Amino acid sequence: MPAPSFARFRSTLLLSAVILVVLSGCAALDDQQTDLPAAGEVEETLTDLEAVNATVVSTLDGTRISTQQTVFEVGTQRRRSTTQTGERGSLVVANDSVTWRYDRAANTVRVTHRIDGEQQSNTSISSSMGSIFGRVNTASDGTEREAALDPLILPAAGGGDPQPFAGQIESFANASLNYHGTGTVAGREAYVVEAVPEADVNTANITLWIDQEWYYPLQWNSTIVVDEERRTVTTVYRNVTFNPAVSAGMFTFDPPANATIVERRVVSQTFETRAELVARSEMTIPDPDVPEPLTFDSARYFDDNGTVRTSLQYTNGSATLRVTKSEPRGDSAALPGDDRVEINGHEAAIQSFDSGISLVWSCEGHRYTVFGDVSVETVRAVGESIDCG
């Protein structure tokens, strides 16, 4: 089998950036240890975590793909990370409004200016870790907790910008949560917890090593399926210092005088109503007919250097449907996949993924997408209700 390339598994490695999965199955203890922290203690401790300094190693099937030396503030965009991928090195420095990405070999600095950028907070990580210990503790008396676990949120590797997993997002609706006692990661004691989805889900077990002092994930392993082969992606934090001293100039960067500078401007905003998005955007916003019990949840505006994407999200508490309108750019105007249907006189592509159904078409210079973990009939009906004028 040929060695995997980093580019091929780039989207897979985003799994270590952030995983949002809701686990609502049973919890069990593999041994009799019940001396575990309470959920409230976990959340309170993580709320006090302000910064992390560590070496982050990513591997695929045991082969090292990248090594990152990083210091970052938890719950903010601020970080400074030097990454070595093969023979190529790069530096990323970010604060709450600007990110510098310096490619030493090319002597190029890509500068991204963020406006109204959204940030991950350590409140979300603390509630996720607290939920894990809450359910494992509940299982210690032989009972099962039927209530859904809070979304499992793993920090971005090296404290980077939170990103959704770019590949197929599996359901995990009937996963079980198992406690496997304690272990060590780079000399630090950790609790070991495993999430096991139902048998027919492509992504297999996710195992977490959670620091016993700060309750922060030190390592996570995930099994994925690529070309019908199971591969293991691992992220490990080594040489960790929690709440290190951070200098005032740590999160700014002065590019070399002879470097090529590439500027980029990104605006990201979330709204509680469709009307707010309509007022913010120059493009017309769809007003789809979405069947009950799905109801409006939020709206989003995203501008990447002048290319605008807007979206409306609907949910019924378990299923989610999203309607997106964007300006196609370059080859992105081509429809994906091979399956074609007609939507209001326009050719559209329909695709089925483990995470839901996607319907895509172009009209009047814009790209429309309806995506959701709902039926094909619902996705098509919503698409047909959209006037692309």
Q: Going residue by residue through the chain (389 aa), what tens digit of pLDDT does each one get?
A: 444 444 444 444 444 333 444 444 555 655 445 578 999 999 999 999 999 999 999 998 889 988 999 999 987 889 999 998 878 889 999 998 999 999 999 999 999 998 865 544 455 778 778 888 887 887 654 444 333 445 555 565 555 543 322 222 334 445 677 889 999 999 999 999 887 766 555 556 788 999 999 999 999 888 766 667 778 889 999 999 999 999 989 999 999 999 999 999 999 899 999 999 999 999 999 999 999 999 999 999 999 988 999 999 999 877 899 999 998 764 446 787 778 899 999 999 999 886 789 999 998 889 999 999 899 999 999 999 998 86
- Domains identified in the chain, total number: 2
Nearest to 13 by CA among 64, 55, 53, 52: 64
Q: For position 336, what pLDDT does the model report?
A: 78
Contact by Cβ (8 Å): 109, 3: no
Q: For position 165, what pLDDT does the model report?
A: 28
Q: For position 389, what pLDDT does the model report?
A: 63
Give domain status of residue 261, yes or no: no
Domain boundary among 242, 262, 280: 242
Q: For position 144, what pLDDT does the model report?
A: 41
Domain boundary among 227, 242, 257: 242
CB-based contacts of 76, cutoff 8 Å, min separation 6: 96, 119
16 and 92, same structural domain? yes
Q: What is the largest CA-CA distance in the chain?
A: 65
238 and 316, same structural domain? no
Quick one: which H or E segment has residue 129? helix 122-139
115 and 230, same structural domain? yes
Give domain status of residue 72, yes or no: yes
Give domain status of residue 251, yes or no: no
Q: Helix, strand, coil % (nearest 5) of the chain?
A: 15, 45, 45
Give domain status of residue 2, yes or no: no
Domain housing 370: 272-384
Q: For position 338, what pLDDT does the model report?
A: 75
183 and 67, same structural domain? yes
Task: For residue 309, give the CATH number of its domain.
Answer: 3.30.200.100
The DSSP symbol for 278 reads H
Nearest to 180 by CA among 145, 147, 205, 152: 205
Residue 23 to residue 151: CA distance in whole angstroms: 7
298 and 234, same structural domain? no
